[in-house]
């Protein structure tokens, strides 16, 4: 035991010294401004130029289609759906879609108001226009719109995007014309 004491005592002293010298607030040191050094490698990996960011780097954007008049038309009546425009989604991976609006008068027969996003790609568009086939659709609709209120709104839903542009179509299965607003929040 006497032989181990000369080894243990210096080891414990060294460990205590290291603990007292170690930085105690590592979070603060990570938040401080730090210098960055760029090392140029051989000619094939040359680093040159200026790196700068001006303003806010946006990761999302909102697109709105406002005050679109939608008469009664069912979602399966593809030749009569109301085309509200296009949604440019290139560079984004997801969209949060919601819709709201008002009927012009109280409805007698309840129904839903909905939006269909169809990819703006030639084969998909041709199948939709010629055969009424909805390939890769994104759809959101309201709960049943009744005569209890003129206003209505859907829940917001998030969808994964697979195409750079979508055509926006609206339908209304109530018995009254509706004014519809579509909100699309594009994100990554």
Which sequence spans correspond to the domains of the chain?
5-45, 60-187
Q: What integer pLDDT is reported at residue 135 of this predicted model? A: 96
pLDDT over threshold 60, residue 27: no
CATH top-level class of 60-187? mainly beta
Taking residues 124-152, report their average pLDDT.
Answer: 94
Computed from CA positions of residues 76, 160, 120, 62, in that sequence, does the dihedral angle turn out positive or negative? positive
This prediction's pTM: 0.70
Which pLDDT belongs to residue 87? 96
| Mean predicted lDDT score pLDDT of the chain | 87
């Amino acid at each position: 035991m006497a032989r181990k004491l000369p080894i243990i005592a210096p080891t414990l002293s060294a460990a205590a010294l290291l603990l007292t010298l170690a930085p105690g607030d590592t979070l603060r040191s990570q938040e401080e401004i730090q210098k960055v050094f760029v090392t140029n490698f051989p000619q094939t990996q040359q680093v040159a130029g200026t790196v700068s960011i001006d303003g806010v780097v946006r990761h999302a954007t909102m697109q709105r289609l406002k005050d679109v008049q939608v008469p009664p038309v069912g979602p399966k009546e593809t030749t009569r759906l109301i085309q509200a425009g296009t949604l440019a989604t290139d560079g984004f991976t997801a969209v949060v879609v919601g819709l709201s609006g008002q009927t012009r008068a109280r409805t007698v027969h309840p129904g839903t108001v909905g939006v269909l996003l169809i990819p703006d790609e030639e084969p998909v568009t041709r199948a939709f226009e010629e055969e009424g086939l909805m390939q890769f659709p994104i759809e959101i609709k309201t709960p049943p719109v009744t005569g209890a209120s003129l206003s209505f709104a859907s829940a917001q839903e998030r969808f994964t995007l697979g195409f750079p542009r979508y055509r926006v179509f609206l339908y209304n299965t109530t018995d009254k014309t509706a004014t519809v607003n579509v909100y699309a929040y594009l994100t990554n």
